Structure 1
């Protein structure tokens, strides 16, 4: 059987069969296809169910549908990551007779592949319509995410850390709902304030506290982390701190926005 390998100087020397490569590519294709389908379905449902959607401009409709598939992806990967990290035995010490840093499974590979397909789709939308759908920070975030997922998928190393970061996508539905309510002119509604509170709380837990756990886990397992191939090891040292700083910056903006919303609600009452 033909096998594929990559240079050990840049990645693990693990051999990959054509079947494995095919399933990775299939997962990425499924992720892209999922985004296209949800993008189109979001537009149809929104046109039928939301009067405000028909009054939006072309760019706002595009972003509306884009946020539809980003919400769908966030829900899928958040539940999948939670299952793999806490409910399955994949990353329990010694459960498979090897380091949890090197632990992989068919399901975790599929999740990473689908997520890579999503980030490719979303980044394509951002770049094609820049700056309508975001700015440099979104491009940086997506670029770093894609790079890290690709390395982990190809090497089979560090998937536990990729899944921890993917779980932070659980805050995305609240971010998108805030945008929807804003566009619909409902910034003064109770739902907007409640969503702001949920976003603040969720961000604090999933993107601040979770990163503290992330770094503490790396510290406890650093002897194993050092065994990761060179590019993966240095990426693991550099990429998460960058993402953590971006999360802190966004958290500061979320906190300011929530304080402003609560202040307005108090004055109006």
Structure 2
């Protein structure tokens, strides 16, 4: 299917459009490189403990710097495109929502591909210091689904919904920074855990599920294999692997219904589920 898509792209997409996509991807790579270096420079000047870290920890520290930066860009742009712009408004366009695209949405997708390529390159180069096989699989599926949406101009709304979940990444990274800095018992660590839970619940359930329900009829009407592959591969990066027993265990101070509501959202990253529920245990 990918070969057919590429041949169709070569026939139907102008060279200028293909060049624009490449520029977006390389912009994402350059962005990650610059932020990676700036993170190291700023950390040396502002955080005394940075110099005492091992080389491996410094690499991950800087890596999480451009991860956080991409998260801000991707989530902010996705929020604008999904809720604030007229791109997916039913009142401004006659075509199906899953067929809509814009220069901004293509730029966001291209930059995200550049980010995932950069992060994956570091993961493979330093394997398994920055993550194991699950990270390689996650990044591979993410790039595949984003690539399909970009070159075909289809189902970009669903990819943007997934990219909006990056809004919780800064909290995940801040959690790691505080842990490395020896502040795991501090109030800011607890507040960050609460913020992670609330942000995760908001984007995973309220935004993604609501928008999916609004447009699922259009998804079913197409009957196109592409939509199935793109939609399922993108959201398969966020499986829910926690059982009801895991949700209930050690969470007596939080309503079970609220936790089940959150963990029942089908597009939530398993890693973030573990972090959120681990933070919940701290209140017991």
Which band: TM-score by shorter chain?
A: 0.7 to 0.9
The offset of 1:170, in angstroms, is: 0.4
- Is 1:157 the equivalent of 2:146? no
The offset of 1:137, in angstroms, is: 2.1
Pair 1:241–1:29, CA change in 2 (3 A): closer
Q: Aligned partners of 1:13, 1:221: CA distance in 2, in Å? A: 27
Q: Aligned partners of 1:193, 1:104: CA distance in 2, in Å? A: 40
1:178-214 CA distance string (max 9 Å, x none): 0000000000100000000001111112234444235
The offset of 1:221, in angstroms, is: 1.9
- Is 1:260 the equivalent of 2:281? yes
1:65-93 CA distance string (max 9 Å, x none): 00000000000111100111111100112
Q: Aligned partners of 1:26, 1:201: CA distance in 2, in Å? A: 36
Partner of 1:20: 17
Partner of 2:115: 118
Q: Aligned partners of 2:93, 2:14: CA distance in 1, in Å? A: 21
The offset of 1:253, in angstroms, is: 1.1
- Is 1:54 the equivalent of 2:54? no
Structure 2's unaligned 5+ residue stretches are 242-267
Partner of 2:187: 190
Moved more, 30-39 or 119-128: 119-128
TM-score, with structure 2 as normaliser? 0.83
Matches within 5 A, 1:1-269: 7=4, 15-93=12-90, 95-226=92-223, 228=224, 230-245=225-240, 247=268, 249-263=270-284
The offset of 1:262, in angstroms, is: 2.8
**Structure with higher RCO (Cα < 8 A, 6+ apart):** 1
Pair 1:60–1:93, CA change in 2 (3 A): same
Question: Secondary structure of the residue that 1:98 maps to in structure 2?
Answer: coil
Pair 1:9–1:118, CA change in 2 (3 A): closer
The offset of 1:260, in angstroms, is: 3.5
The answer to whether the 8 Å contact 2:148/2:230 transfers is: no
Partner of 1:3: none
Pair 1:239–1:112, CA change in 2 (3 A): closer
Pair 1:225–1:40, CA change in 2 (3 A): farther
Moved more, 173-182 or 245-254: 245-254
TM-score, with structure 1 as normaliser? 0.87
Q: Aligned partners of 1:83, 1:9: CA distance in 2, in Å? A: 29
Moved more, 148-157 or 86-95: 86-95
Moved more, 115-124 or 237-246: 237-246
Pair 1:235–1:10, CA change in 2 (3 A): farther
Question: Secondary structure of the residue that 1:132 maps to in structure 2?
Answer: coil
